[in-house]
């Protein structure tokens, strides 16, 4: 039952952000909310993909061999 929470949480956050800029209940609100949710999804995926490279760039090592 945890999957609906994972699906609704980004839309809840996107709804809060969209509410700052657009009146709720309009078609434009739904479009802006969807756009914000897609940007959040893309940034999450980018963070997951590039996290190891960023960690290496900052010199953060993982695993049992932590000596430089």
Higher pLDDT, 9 or 47: 47
Whether residue 8 is contained in a domain is answered as yes
Buried b (16+ CB within 10 A) or exposed e, 32-44: bbeebbeebeeee
Residue 57 has pLDDT above 90, yes or no: no
Whether residue 27 is contained in a domain is answered as yes
Q: What are 34-46's pLDDT values in tens digits?
A: 898 889 889 888 9
Is-above-0.85 flag for pTM?
A: no
* Banded model confidence at residue 67, pLDDT cuts 50, 70, 90: low
Domain assignment of residue 52, given as a range: 3-58
Whether residue 63 is contained in a domain is answered as no
Whether residue 39 is contained in a domain is answered as yes
Whether residue 14 is contained in a domain is answered as yes
Average pLDDT over every residue of 17-21: 88
Overall domain count for the chain: 1
Whether residue 68 is contained in a domain is answered as no
The whole-number pLDDT of residue 50 equals: 92
Whether residue 26 is contained in a domain is answered as yes
Minimal CA–CA distance to 44: which of 1, 17, 2, 9?
Answer: 9
Q: Which residues contact 54 (CB under 8 A, 6 or more apart)?
A: none
């Amino acid at each position: 039952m945890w999957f609906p929470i994972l699906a609704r949480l980004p839309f809840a956050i996107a709804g809060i952000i969209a509410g700052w800029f657009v009146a709720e209940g309009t078609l434009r609100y739904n479009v802006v909310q969807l756009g914000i949710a897609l940007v959040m999804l893309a940034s999450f995926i980018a963070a997951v993909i590039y996290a190891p490279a960023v960690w290496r760039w900052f010199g953060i090592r993982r695993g049992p061999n932590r000596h430089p």
